[in-house]
Amino acid sequence: MFQPLDPLLHSELRLAIVSLLISVEEAEFPYIKEQTGATAGNLSVQLDKLSTAGYIDVEKTFKGKKPCTLCRMTDKGREAFEAYVEALKSYLVVKN
Amino acid sequence: MEEKKHLTAERSLEIITEQIEQSRKAVAKDTGLSLYIAGLCTMGMAILIGICIFFTVNTTYYLLYVSLPLVIYGVDRYVKRNIPKVPENFVGTMVNRTWLTFGIFTVSFFVFANLYHFLMSHTESPEIYSRLMIHPFRIILLLMGMAITINGYTLKSRWMVACGIIGGIGGFIWESFYVTQTLVGWLGSYTNSNYCGITFGIIPGIIVAIFAFIGLTLPGMMLKNK
């Protein structure tokens, strides 16, 4: 039986962001942009969506005089990611 | 990365794998660059101190090693000034903290040993002083060997583990049995100042440079180019 996939994570860019953040403590905006290959505007929109859902924490701070955006996963985000991977398994098992 | 309405389960899995792998590689590359910089700085410092002691026969230049952590930090910041800050993962954190622990212990021990020598040489007779002397270099080699071995296990590099064990224990034995001094003494034909310059300047400098190359520069280069 197929399990429902979280629509918030079932998007290329948002899934890439969450997969990137899951293995690190926190990451800066330019790093996520470089790793995902997304544009700054699109990335900002997707980060906002994930932040509104409570999946990630976005902290706006300063690095010297330059503004710096830090993103980190929340416990809710980790749980959602785990559930997403579990749901994904059900699709792959049925197909195999 | 474009937004696509129809994302298959296979593609989702691919994205997750790609991103985790990409992140792992970026972290390994960044850690590698830091190790590479630390290795080059240590080698440069060892050569500089060796040259200074050779020409002046003044072992006070060893104190320049105390500034090494600051030099490494400064060069690292300068080289990475235009690169987005890479987050740390478990492996990167372990490697950095191993070297940090090694740095704290080594610099503290080195400062303590020098203070101890200074006090002993001013308060005790030369006979007692020569018997109670601390030889920091052999302990530093042992600590460096330990740091290289631990990092070899963390980075899953067998040759690094082997180099750490052989270099650390070998260096300790080498220094404990005064092999350097004996070898230089056998050369015999040098003047007194050249003898001191070679014994206390060039040879320890070469040993530190070799250790830095094996333990820092080489693994750094490997990780950086992976």
Give the domain ranges of chain B: 22-224
Please count the residue pairs, one from chain A and one from chain B, whose beta carbons lie less than 8 angstroms apart. 79
pLDDT in tens, B87-111: 877 777 888 888 889 888 988 898 8
The dihedral sign for the CA sequence A45, A46, A52, A58: negative
Select the residue from A8, A17, A19 to test the B interface by mutation, using most B Cβ atoms within 10 A.
Answer: A19
The minimal CB distance from B1 to the residues A27, A28, A38 is found for A38
Specify the pLDDT at position B140.
86
What 3-state DSSP class applies to A65? Answer: coil
Among B199, B48, B92, B57, which residue's Cα sits nearest to residue B135? B199
Specify the pLDDT at position A30.
92
What 3-state DSSP class applies to A11? Answer: coil
CB contact under 8 A, B9 and A37: no
Select the residue from A13, A17, A25, A35 to test the B interface by mutation, using most B Cβ atoms within 10 A.
Answer: A35
Chain A residues lying within 8 Å of B25, measured CB to CB? none
Contact (CB, 8 A) for B209 and B29 = no
Question: Whole-prediction pTM value?
Answer: 0.73
pLDDT in tens, A50-93: 999 999 999 998 887 888 899 999 999 999 999 999 998 888 76
CB contact under 8 A, A31 and B27: no
What 3-state DSSP class applies to A39? Answer: coil
To which residue do tokens 């060892």 refer?
Answer: B46
pLDDT in tens, A52-61: 999 999 999 8
Q: How confident is the model at residue B55 (pLDDT cuts 50, 70, 90)?
A: confident
Kind and range of the H or E element at A80? helix A75-95
| Bridge partner list, A73 | A56
Complex-level ipTM beyond the 0.90 threshold = no
